[in-house]
Copies of this chain bind each other. A is one copy, B any other.
Amino acid sequence: MHIDKNILIALEQRYRANLINCLSGFKPALLVGTQSPSGDTNLAMFTNVLHIGANPALLGLLVRPAPAGTERHTLDNITATGEFTLNHVTTSILPAAHQTSARFPRHVSEFTATGLTPEWRDDCKAPYVKEAPVKIALRLAEQQTLAINNTTLVIGEVQSIYLPKEILREDGSVDMAKGHIITSCGLDSYHATAPGTRYQYAKPDTKATKVT
């Protein structure tokens, strides 16, 4: 099938949103934990999260523009406190994690609404999710608006990482599949993954070789 730009523009809005949100392929699924200056906790599922750099250790979060009059609790809290957590979604907490995307009023914590448990560690001003095996605390490092569609790229520097010893490999890489971490696609689809195949660092004069 071929969908060119003219067809794309003419598509019904919801159909186009489904299609384009799938086009980038598989994404992570992360719960972003924040707290407002007045102490309200917030939890929201984000899938547009990406690796920005390893040294300094930076992760990015893309926040879509809010239509006039709507609230963006996560972004407001990050801007106000400078801190947030990222918590990886596993198969077992998936329904609760998806439910955080409902439009709860500001005074209702998604923790209370979904049954997930806020956990306070270190001196982090943002709550972790107790049920998530892999969790990261970040400090706001840079915030940039993309002129083209007014989305906000929030870049955080990693302050603290918690993860189970069993999924941390000897070389520092993390076996997310073994940890039952899921991947997402589009606006509403979540997938378990098969054990990974690893390849050695590619060199021009040798064929791709699996790590065994």
Contact = CB atoms under 8 A, between A and B. Distances in A.
Interface string A60-85: 00101000000000000000000000
A152 B189 CA distance: 29
The copy count of this chain in the complex is 2
A162 interface: yes
Number of contact residues on A: which range applies? Answer: 35 or more
A63 to B, nearest CB: 11
Interface in A156-212: 158-165, 168-169, 171-177, 181-204, 207-208, 211
B148 A15 contact: no
23 contacts: A2-B160, A3-B162, A11-B172, A13-B55, A14-B171, A18-B173, A21-B173, A25-B88, A25-B176, A26-B184, A27-B27, A52-B151, A56-B148, A98-B202, A102-B204, A142-B146, A153-B153, A174-B185, A183-B193, A188-B200, A190-B196, A190-B197, A191-B195
Interface of A: 1-5, 8, 11, 13-30, 48-59, 62, 64, 86, 88, 94-96, 98-104, 108, 113, 122, 134, 136, 141-142, 144, 146-149, 151, 153, 155, 158-165, 168-169, 171-177, 181-204, 207-208, 211
